[in-house]
Amino acid sequence: MIPDLHPGALLLLGGLLVPLLRGRLLQVFLCVLPIAALVNMIGVQAGADIRLGFMGYDLHVVRVDKLSLLFGYLFHIAAMLASIYSLHVKDRLQLSTGLIYAGSAVGAVFAGDLITLFVFWELLALTSVFQVWARKSKRSAGTGLRYLMMHIFSGLLLLAGATWYFQSQPDGSLGFNAMTLGQPGSLLIFLAFGIKCAFPFFHTWLTDAYPEATPTGTVFLCSFTTKTAVYAMARGFPGADELVIIGGCMAMFPIFYAVIENDLRRVLGYSMINQIGFMMVGIGLGEPGVGTAWGINGAVAHAFNDVLFKGLLFMSMGAVLLRTGRINGSDLGGLYKSMPWTTGFCIVGAASISAFPAFSGFVSKAMVMSAAAEEGHFVIWLCLLFASAGVFHHAGIKIPFFAFFGHDSGIRTKEAPFNMLVAMGAGAFLCVFIGCAPKFLYDLLPVDFGDNVYRPYTITHIITQTQILFFSAAAFTFLMLRGIYPPELRSTNLDFDWFVRKGSGLFYRCMDCVLNGINKAAHRACVNGVTKGLSGFFNDAPARVAVFVMVPVWASTGMNQNLLQEKKDALYNRVRLGTFPIGITALFAVLLLALMFLFSFRGTA
């Protein structure tokens, strides 16, 4: 069926309507809108498309296939959970931009050409930054600006890449399909996607912005931006070998940061990079038509699950921040007494991200690892195994332990608001549901499994996964009891954003030194040196010449020294100021006339 409406249209337009509503009406609207949008999208079938002519180009505004549909469903579910979670929020700018942000993510995953993708790509950046700025603190203002700069940069790279890629296409097609990395255009596009995927060195926007957003803002942020980028990578560069190595690095390095980080939402930010690492490995292994379909399918399934369990974890931490005003591990502890439901939901999220059997991570993370093993990537497989043990350690244990258990901070507060509990409950239900009945998710996956259907629930997989998780927990318990585990400390840990945040100051001072130095030197040389010299020269050169000519004449008349000096001074001043007695002026005039007469005479002769 051909869609009557763009799948993202309802969210985009609905977001614009939010500022006009208030009170109960706004809350009903927030509940109904994502459902209406989902109903609108369900009518759309794979194979349908909308094309538009724009300035002579054929734009493929909506292209529907299994990959885009899966992300479409995911974003609608995420928008639903995030809006319910935000029902208590009064700041309508934040709610409005949040919904438009969700709508742009939907638009981006249905974009069939690079220009449409670019438009939604930039809209994602522009609308998402308000979730950070809505915190209305000095820190969030700076963070938002850095976040926006990074994402605008990604958008510009995408535009430049798309233009270059378009020029190199023999059929002049703008279509957004699988590309190879062999040419500059696709390389720029790859980098643009990579920035939004939080590639190493470009990842700091994520760990910078997510902890600075509002409690509800982070729930919006964690669902759409990176997952749109994962979608784009899966669409554009399946089977790119580089992704396997990049993904391996992304799965490894953030877990070290996560262990020493104090801000629990920043811990989740690092853990998100680690999870995207798994997805990148899966995409890198998913060369179309080669081997099993586990690579791409695993990556996409894990992206689906990640939105749910990471959303759930960010929701539980948002509830803690809302109720206590604190989010540092060093300030929290013992909250299970005041917030038992939030604690329970957080544990479900933690179990899902750690891939416990019967929870959602179990059915998707292992698919990527099996793909790596099947294709013989031993080192990557070891890295991913290390990362799965590590993720349990920092996201599975550290988050619930330091927030809800551990040392009792003495903080007593209320349970999270009802709307937040409903959203967390729905998220937790989905995590367990997908974990127990993975078939519903597997049926939506983009690549047909063929003969190699992935079976997560084998005895070997259940036992080995349980073993690795229990012994990671044993390591945590051992280190805790022996007092080796590093305590939570109020601190900032340096990351690559040092180069932007401190490096920019250094750059500023260097530029100040060099450019202002050049300016000063030029001022000295030109204004004080050359100009002054020239003006002096033109000021008294004729006078000096006159004196130079007259002194020998006067000296030859035997004039005494005093008189000579007097006449010299008088002549110098007269010539410099141009004041001569009438007689001399008349003499010069006569001389001039005589010269003119002579020359005119010569001219006629």
Partner 1 sequence: MIDSHGHPIVPGPSPEEQEGFAVLEDDGRKRMFDYQENVRLVIRWFTCACVFLALLDVAIYLLVSVFHVFPHAHHSFEIEGFPMFYPAYGFVACVLLVLVAKQLRRILMRNEDYYDS
Distances (CA, A) of 15 to 21, 83, 169, 182, 420: 11, 11, 37, 40, 20
- Contact window for partner 1 (CB under 8 A) among 43-51, 97-105, 179-187, 369-377: 369-377
- What character string, x for contact with partner 1 (CB under 8 A) and - otherwise, covers 478-517? xx-x--xxx--xxxxxxx-----xx---------------
DSSP 110-125: H--BHHHHHHHHHHHH
DSSP 182-221: TSHHHHHHHHHHHHHTT-TTTTHHHHHHGGGS-HHHHHHH
**Contact call for residue 602 and partner 1 (CB under 8 A):** no
Q: How far apart are CA 220 and CA 95, in angstroms?
A: 10
Q: Which is nearer to partner 1, 228 or 354 (CB)?
A: 354
The identity of residue 413, as a single letter, is T
Q: Which listed residue (374, 550, 551, 564) binds partner 1 by CB under 8 A?
A: 374
Q: How far apart are CA 349 and CA 431, in angstroms?
A: 7
**Contact call for residue 23 and partner 1 (CB under 8 A):** no
**Contact call for residue 260 and partner 1 (CB under 8 A):** yes
- Contact window for partner 1 (CB under 8 A) among 13-21, 77-85, 305-313, 366-374: 366-374
Q: Which listed residue (169, 177, 180, 466) binds partner 1 by CB under 8 A?
A: 466
Q: Which is nearer to partner 1, 183 or 409 (CB)?
A: 409
Residue 306: half-sphere exposure toward Cβ, Cα within 13 Å:
30
Q: Which is nearer to partner 1, 164 or 386 (CB)?
A: 386
- What character string, x for contact with partner 1 (CB under 8 A) and - otherwise, covers 64-93? ------------------------x-x---
**Contact call for residue 22 and partner 1 (CB under 8 A):** no
Q: Which is nearer to partner 1, 474 or 525 (CB)?
A: 474
**Nearest approach, Cβ of 156 to partner 1 (angstroms)?**
25
Bridge partners, residue 263, by sequence: 328
Q: Would you say 226 and 78 are in contact if contact means Cβ atoms under 8 Å apart?
A: no
Q: How far apart are CA 391 and CA 396, in angstroms?
A: 7
Q: How far apart are CA 211 and CA 135, in angstroms?
A: 11
DSSP 270-336: HHHHHHHHHHHHHHHH--TTSS-SHHHHHHHHHHHHHHHHHHHHHHHHHHHHHHHS--BTTT---GG
**Alpha-carbon torsion 462, 468, 470, 471, what sign?**
positive
**Contact call for residue 524 and partner 1 (CB under 8 A):** no
Residue 20: half-sphere exposure toward Cβ, Cα within 13 Å:
6
- Contact window for partner 1 (CB under 8 A) among 187-195, 234-242, 296-304, 389-397: 389-397
Q: Which is nearer to partner 1, 135 or 196 (CB)?
A: 135
Q: Which is nearer to partner 1, 166 or 401 (CB)?
A: 401
Q: Which is nearer to partner 1, 2 or 463 (CB)?
A: 463
**Nearest approach, Cβ of 270 to partner 1 (angstroms)?**
11
- Which residues contact partner 1 by CB under 8 A? 88, 90, 135-140, 255-257, 259-260, 322-326, 336-338, 370, 373-374, 376, 378, 381, 385-386, 389-390, 393, 405, 408, 410-414, 417, 460, 463-464, 466-479, 481, 484-486, 489-495, 501-502
